[in-house]
Structure 1
Amino acid sequence: MPAGIFRVCLVVITAIVNHPLLFPKENATVPEYAEDIIQKMKAHEENLRLEQLRLEQEIAGQEAALKALEKATETEEQNVKEPLPWDLWSAMSMVIFLLIELWRQDYQDGNWQESACEEDDMAILGKAFKGVALPDKATLANFYERCILGATGDMARKRELVEGFADDLLEALRSVCNRDADMEVEESIGVGSMYENWRVHKPLVCDLIVPFRPPEPYCFRSQTWCSKESVRPDKQGYGTIKVCRADEDAAGCICGKTKLGEDMLCLLHSQTNQTRPSGEMEDLLCFKNTQYLDADQVMKWFQIAITKSWNKISHKYEFDLTFNLLDSPGALKIKFRSGKSIAFNLTPVVQCEDSDAYFISHFPRGGLTADPASSTDWFVTFAVYERRFIHSISKKLPANACHLSCLQIVSFLHEKQCSLTGPSSLTNYHLKTVMLHLLQTRPYQDWASENLEARLQDMLKFLEKSLQEKKLCHFFIGNRKVPEVLNFPVAFQKAEPLNLFRPFVLHRDAYRKTVDTFHEMLRNTAALINEYTVHIPSRMESPTPVNKQQNLR
């Protein structure tokens, strides 16, 4: 009887300790810097295992002694009194096991301070969003017409001017480059908000990407993180580009499959098997002593090439061309003699295999995306697919659909809030990602123009939920519902989803600042819309500031 009670207690303890709902282990994450905690956990686990073995041996010995005692004793009183110490020992063992396991679980995710910090992050958000009180439809329509359409009216004209000048500049670049040694540039491709027709911030900046490739007989061979079985979280979204000869490892040649004699050589690879000097690879913009394309080298080459090409054609134009940002060689600005200027970005990229995804050397404007650990790591951009998706789905939506209007309004309000409270780590790319997710999940008819207020509410709710969870999945990477008409690469669809908000997990100060700015924007939404609708001056009036917010317009 006592042995049976003890076995029951032991089974209960084991079930409690290992129950997945009470002590989940699969999703537990240990910070990389808590090596001492990991060692303590391992030591406690080993001690617990040894203690279990000792107890099992002791139990076996005591059970044998108990059986002998039961045979020797004939009185019922001894049988009644004997279980008491066994029951007491069972209870004490259960308490000890529970205390040890509870202590271990408290430190499995790091320490108590980390848990407290996570609770603080959740407290930041709380239940702040209970539905933003937006103005009526007439006020929203008036606000959109005066603040947004008025700012984007000359968008098409600026696109046409920039595209024409960029074509002329690239053509001059091709002529000044050595066709046998320099990189070859292709036609530019317009991407981003200016080509998706939702940019509202001034100055209106065109983003153009310029694919380039090495001279013959070299080629680029890229490798992305999704082609590997496992990858570090900070490497997700990046890849490397190797520069090699086009006939290296050529398919169908038997020299790589058979062992040739010393006096035999492959006619196809007799020249390419020679050792290449390191200087040759550096001339091909590779990182020192490697065959991997170096983003820093590419930036320097592109800046020099742009300077040479402008010097060749500058006499044809009545304006000046300058570099807009020192750390972005493709950030250019056209300055007219009248004092006006037009900014645009011309960014070198490398095509990813045979797709419309590209490896980009740098982003013209900073965002939450961290800088790569190495200059040989290139970020993968799907800007062409994003533009294509928005244009294709716009054809299926009702006439005058409100999807771009929602994005423009949220972007406008966030930019105005940042002008008051300081910059935020929330970027326009995050806002666009939210819109793309909603476009794929909501029925097409829900985006009719009369549903503008409801869709604005949806975007804000989705965004707050993503901030609360610190998780906003990339729209294309890991999304298996991408329309087939886009011809999106299957390898990226089957990859692990990329969390755009992962930096918030690492940078707590940026997260708190972003959340505070977002909540302040929610509280000020109605006031901002009403103010910029009522007090914004017409073209015939002179602007008169009403309060300090207007001084920042």
Structure 2
Amino acid sequence: MPGHSGRRCRLFWLLASCLCAAFLCLRSELATQPEEEPSPLPVLQLSLAFLLCYSLIKSWCPVCPHQPCPVRAPSAHVARKVVLESYYEQQLRISPHVLGHSRAHVSQIVTELLKVGKCEQEGSTLAFRGDFLQIGSTYEQHQTNSLDCFDLLVPIKVPQALQLEPTFHMGPQSLPSSLEGSVICRVKPCIKPEWARCQREFIESFCVRFGKQRALSSAQVLRWFHSKVLRCLNVIRFQCEQRCSISLAPLKDQLILKLLPRADYVCCHISLSVRLIPALHVGDSIFLVAQPSCRSELQLPALSPGTLWAVYLCKHERKFLNWLKVQTPNNSCHLKCLQIMKALRDLGCREFDQQFSVQWNTILCSYNMKTALFHLLLKGPLDAWDDRFLMDRLEDLVLFWRERLQKQELMHFFLGNRNVPDFLTVPRKIKEVLPVNLLAGFDAALLDLVSFQLLKTWNCAHLIMKLNNHKHLPRNC
């Protein structure tokens, strides 16, 4: 230890001074003639000289020059980073080995499920396209501690006799601010006599009236999708029982597929939750997904329940993330920052009441956090996201969120954003829609409270994570 080295060094000089003084005394005694009376003055002078040298050496060099200097106490900034890094390694970082096996199990089962559904295609109803898209934090590598949560977009298609016409220009003039960015998907029949019966059956089953036209009902599509997946699951359940146990858990407007692999690998014995999301592909890598029920309840009286759809641009988001992976340093911390921020969100809401906790998680949802990170990444040099500057970038992200919450504005990264980088090749109809504010519809006082609590959580981040380092986070990817 550095403290012990310093004490040993000072003890060495004290002993050296005493030995030198004794040696001089002995030499002076031997040099004195027997008949002469010894004089104590030279010995006293030499002893005082050595003591003076010792004092000077002690004041100028309190520690041995060949030993390392004592380590100073770490600053608060360094201590906070140590705690956050430790929490990230122990709680947030996911094993690539386990994640790879889990992905393989999910892909294999869902592929067989959709293959059966594609074979049962009928002419006058919806049908599986036969493929799926891997979306969400698990596939984008910014999940927190939930390596068992997977989101898959399942494209479905309408009969060839019909054509979908989504209306993207849904702004404040036609919908409340809380529903900005929503889409109504009109159904346009093709003019062919032999398809008249197919068109009529489909419209009666899946459409609702919208003015003088018909719009595809997201509620009816979800109902069909749930029953379709259940029928397909009954077909493959027996074939897959040797590999894994499969069950279906419908939750409100979500369909969760539960998988328990029966592999030889112990690390793969994890219960996997796969959220299957039906989606309509309307061209240009644009998908429409049914709005959550909590937002569908806010529709205008003129609209039938379950009419609105949300726009998904998952392929463009994945393209942007892949571009960032190339442009940022090899040890970039942008995804790491997103994981830590989501962990702070989950830890911070533990002290809130139930109502505010729901509002907190809705405002700071994973998609909004990812959107804020995208905006922040384009504001500054990408070299600044080196892992050495982790704490600085986290602080920038917190301050950016505080600014957005105070201004009550977090704009969608794609919808209505004409400054999107050109390499993303976003369709023109997406750029030219009215800009969408993801914080629209929230009360100003609520956003101020979230801003205050977020800053408070960040200031106590190292304490919160230190206390919860051995506890599991709630599953809120």
Q: Which amino acid aligns with 2:450?
A: T
Superposed displacement of residue 173, structure 1:
1.1
Q: How many residues align?
A: 378
Counterpart amino acid of residue 484 in structure 1: D
Residues 88-128 of structure 1, C-alpha deviations (whole Å, 9 max, x = no match): xxxxxxxxxxxxxxxxxxxxxxxxxxxxxxxxxxxxxxxxx
Map of 1:536-551 to 2, 5 A cutoff?
Answer: 536=470, 550=471
Matched, 1:244 2:188: yes
- Cα distance change of structure 1 residues 184 and 203 upon mapping to structure 2, 3 Å threshold: closer
Q: Does 1:526 align with 2:429?
A: no
State the match for 2:335 in structure 1: 404
- Work out the percentage of aligned pairs sharing the same amino acid: 22
Candidates 488, 505, 517, aligned match of 2:426? 488
Task: Tell me, in whole angstroms, the C-alpha distance in 2 between the residues paired with 1:446 and 1:145.
Answer: 22
Larger Rg: 2
Q: Is the 8 A contact 1:144 1:409 kept in 2?
A: yes
Question: What secondary structure sits across from 2:450 in the alignment?
Answer: helix
Query: How many Å separate the matches in 2 of 1:342 and 1:371?
Result: 33
Q: Within 2, Cα distance between the matches of 1:153 and 1:413?
A: 26
Deviation at 1:512, TM superposition (A): 6.0
Determine the C-alpha separation between the residues in 2 that align with 1:347 and 1:301: 12
Equivalent AA in structure 2 for residue 327 of structure 1: K
Of 275, 286, 291, which aligns to 1:345? 275
| 1:519 Cα deviation from its structure 2 partner | 3.8
1:135 aligns with 2:79: yes
TM-score, length-normalised on structure 1? 0.62
Find the residue that maps to 1:321 and give its secondary structure: strand
1:216 aligns with 2:147: no
CA deviation after TM superposition for structure 1 residue 326, in Å:
2.6
1:315 and 2:238 aligned = yes
Question: Is residue 135–residue 529 contact of structure 1 (8 Å, CA) maintained in 2?
Answer: no
The 5 A counterparts of 1:263-274 are none
Picking from 447, 463, 470, the partner of 2:408 is: 470
Q: Which amino acid aligns with 1:356?
A: S
Q: Which blocks of at least 5 consecutive residues in structure 1 are unaligned? A: 1-131, 249-268, 537-549
Question: 1:133–1:473: structure 2 CA closer, same or farther, 3 Å change rule?
Answer: farther
Tell me how far apart the structure 2 counterparts of residues 270 and 445 of structure 1 sit (CA, whole Å): 62
- Give the whole-Å Cα distance in 2 for the aligned partners of 1:433 and 1:367: 21
1:394 matched to which residue of 2?
A: 325
Q: C-alpha distance in 2, partners of 1:492/1:203?
A: 33
Q: Which ranges in structure 2 are unaligned for 5 or more consecutive residues? A: 1-75, 264-268
Aligned partner of 1:170 among 114, 119, 124: 114
Shift of 1:494: 2.7
Instruction: Assess if the C-alpha contact under 8 Å between 1:176 and 1:309 holds in 2.
Output: no
Cα shift readout 1:384-409 (whole Å, capped 9, x = no counterpart): 21122111121111111010011111
Deviation at 1:231, TM superposition (A): 3.8
Please tell me the residue identity of whatever aligns with 1:522.
W
Q: Distance in 1 between matches of 2:420 and 2:368?
A: 18
Q: Is the 8 A contact 2:187 2:216 kept in 1?
A: yes
Contact 2:332 2:387 in 1 (8 A): yes
Which residue number corresponds to residue 215 of structure 2? 292
- 1:292–1:495 CA distance, 2 compared to 1 (3 A): closer
2:215 partner SS? coil
1:286 partner amino acid: C
- Decide whether the 8 Å contact of 1:242 with 1:293 is kept in 2: yes
Following the alignment from structure 1 to structure 2, what is the Cα–Cα distance between the partners of residues 514 and 367?
20
Cα distance per residue 1:35-72 (max 9 Å; x no partner): xxxxxxxxxxxxxxxxxxxxxxxxxxxxxxxxxxxxxx
Matches within 5 A, 1:58-77: none
Partner of 1:438: 376
Change in Cα spacing, 1:372 to 1:212, as seen in structure 2 (3 Å) is: farther
Deviations 1:401-447 (CA, angstroms, capped at 9, x unpaired): 01001111111111111233352232121211111011111111111
| 1:291 CA displacement | 2.5
CA contact (8 A) 2:334 2:385 kept: yes
The residue type paired with residue 203 of structure 2 is M
2:71 corresponds to: none
Q: For residues 214 and 133 of structure 2, what CA distance do their matches in structure 1 show? A: 27
Q: Does 1:376 align with 2:324?
A: no
How big is the alpha-carbon RMSD for the aligned residues of Structure 1 and Structure 2?
3.1
1:490 alignment partner AA? R
Give SS of 1:164's match: helix
| SS of equivalent to 1:502 | coil
Q: Distance in 1 between matches of 2:339 and 2:327?
A: 20
Aligned to 2:48: none
Q: Following the alignment from structure 1 to structure 2, what is the Cα–Cα distance between the partners of residues 447 and 417?
A: 25
Indicate the residue corresponding to 1:479 in structure 2.
417
CA shift in 2, pair 1:277/1:315, >3 Å = closer
Q: Would the aligned equivalents of 2:153 and 2:279 in 1 still touch at CA under 8 Å?
A: yes
The answer to whether the 8 Å contact 2:410/2:438 transfers is yes
Q: What is the CA-CA distance between 1:368 and the residue it aligns to?
A: 8.4
1:205 counterpart residue number: 149
Give 2:367's aligned amino acid. Answer: Y
More off after superposition, 485-494 vs 332-341: 332-341
SS at match of 2:225: helix
Other-structure match for 2:44: none
**1:154 paired to 2:154:** no
1:501 aligns with 2:439: yes
- Closer, same or farther in 2 for the Cα pair 1:313/1:142, shift >3 Å? same
Residue 355 in structure 1 maps to residue 278 in structure 2: no
CA drift at 1:185: 2.6
**What's the secondary structure of 2:255's corresponding residue?**
strand
Q: Distance in 1 between matches of 2:448 and 2:250?
A: 29
1:493-548 Cα deviation digits (max 9, x unpaired): 23332111112138x5x546634542441232121233455xx4xxxxxxxxxxxx
Q: Is the CA contact (8 Å cut-off) linking 2:124 and 2:202 kept in structure 1?
A: no
The Cα offsets for residues 287-324 of structure 1, whole Å up to 9 and x where unpaired, read as 26963111111011111110111111111112443333
Secondary structure of the residue that 2:144 maps to in structure 1? Answer: coil
Aligned partners of 1:330, 1:172: CA distance in 2, in Å? 18
- Looking at structure 1, the residues matched to 416 and 464 of structure 2 have their Cα atoms a distance apart, in angstroms, of 37
- Counterpart amino acid of residue 491 in structure 1: K
Is the CA contact (8 Å cut-off) linking 2:178 and 2:441 kept in structure 1?
Answer: no
Match of 2:397?
459
Distance in 2, Cα, partners of 1:525 & 1:480: 36
